[in-house]
Amino acid sequence: MTTTPYLESRRACPALPAPRGIVSGAVLSALRDGRPPEVSPHAVAGAEPYGDDLQLALYVLYELHYQGFDGIGDDREWDPDLLRLRAALEGRFLGALRADVPRKASAHEALAGILVEPATDDGTGVSHYLQREGQLWQVREYAALRSLYHLKEADPHAWVIPRLHGRAKAAMVAVEYDEFGAGRAEGIHARLFADLMDDLGLDHAYGRHLGSAPAQALCTVNLMSLFGLHRALRGALVGHFAAVEVTSSPGSRRLAEAMRRTGAGPAAARFYDEHVEADAVHEQVVRHELIDPLLAAEPLLDPDVAFGVQATVLLEDLLSAHLLSAWRAGRSALRTPLTAIGPHGGS
């Protein structure tokens, strides 16, 4: 009996997406032509910080540090003209985040705000919606959007490892080790998500669904890259990591139930089942073995950790509002709706 070989989601570089405005158009043209990006400071200053144009431009520039793009030379990763433009776009994005998140919270106060689940299951988030009433087409849309991160799950957080030391570093590596399959390629969480996509009849090629993703989804992924690529924002990246781990276990339980209720398939449910128990343990490690030692060693990072938590919540809330608004109106939340699938997940 022969088996079909597994096709890695990142076996090839994705194609460049279509532009969504002046700034993203300048970035994409510069990558294709090998020339500096031609965009005025006025265009950058006028770009909506959480909008499609700026977020796509940032996503493409960040992606040069991950998988890159088909036909684009690896040397463009450190192109000084692209980096100058990226810095200007980051300033616009980061400035909006700092203006929009609550102020004067400590790291532990920020975490306390997301630690407690409602006493009853009457929450209004996306996982609650999908658990209770979501349809298979909405589950598929959710998976397509989340693939922008989950197919490189834990990669942005790995950048903080050389910027930590002692107990904090050991704790971060321990959690990341689990995220990367604990030494088993088939257990890498990005691989498990690719299997989930297979169950849902979705193309699991890396970057395949970038063109369909609205700005709100790009924001959530760009936030990780922004924090990860700057040593000065290491505290914010730890805060982001903590927010993800703290909220993951209960949300994953609901999503696993949604996968089973909609008949998404065993691999789809397995991905979230894997996160229910593992992330409950990770939450304790992150809070007590990562954050506490980090702040003991570098107390001045406390506001940054809090900012990372709050910025994560802010952008996840924006994405949730977008998804629920579209789905409750019976329309696709994607820029380009997915094709229909058969009753067992096949095309």
What's the domain count of the chain?
2
pTM of the complete model: 0.94
Task: Note whether 84 and 151 are same-domain residues.
Answer: no
Say whether both 147 and 59 belong to one domain. Answer: no
Q: What is the pLDDT of residue 5?
A: 53
Check if the beta carbon of residue 200 is closer than 8 Å to that of residue 265.
yes
40-68 pLDDT, tens digit per residue, is 999 999 999 999 999 999 999 999 999 99
Structure tokens at 69: 């793009």
Domain assignment present for 344? no
- Residue 56: domain span: 22-100
pLDDT at 31: 98
Q: What is the pLDDT of residues 178-219, one digit of tens each?
A: 999 999 999 999 999 999 999 999 999 999 999 999 999 999
Identity of the amino acid at 311: A
| Whether 163 and 59 share a structural domain | no
Q: What is the CATH number of the domain that holds 179?
A: 1.20.910.10
Do 333 and 216 touch, CB atoms closer than 8 A? Answer: no
Boundary residue ending a domain (100, 126, 161): 100
Same domain, yes or no: 73 and 195? no
Q: Are residues 94 and 121 in the same domain?
A: no
What are the φ and ψ backbone dihedral angles of 324, each rounded to 5 degrees? -70, -35
Sign of CA dihedral 198, 246, 217, 76: negative
Domain assignment present for 17? no
On whether residue 13 sits in a domain, the answer given is no
Q: Are residues 196 and 76 in the same domain?
A: no
Looking at this protein, which amino acid is placed at residue 88?
A: A
What number of residues does the chain have?
A: 347
Same-domain pairing of 33 and 168:
no
Tell me the mean pLDDT in the region 149-170.
97
User: Between 122 and 120, where is the model more confident?
Assistant: 122
Average pLDDT over the chain reads 92
How much is the average pLDDT of 267-290?
Answer: 86
The reported pLDDT for the residue numbered 344 is: 36
Judge whether residue 306 has pLDDT over 90. yes
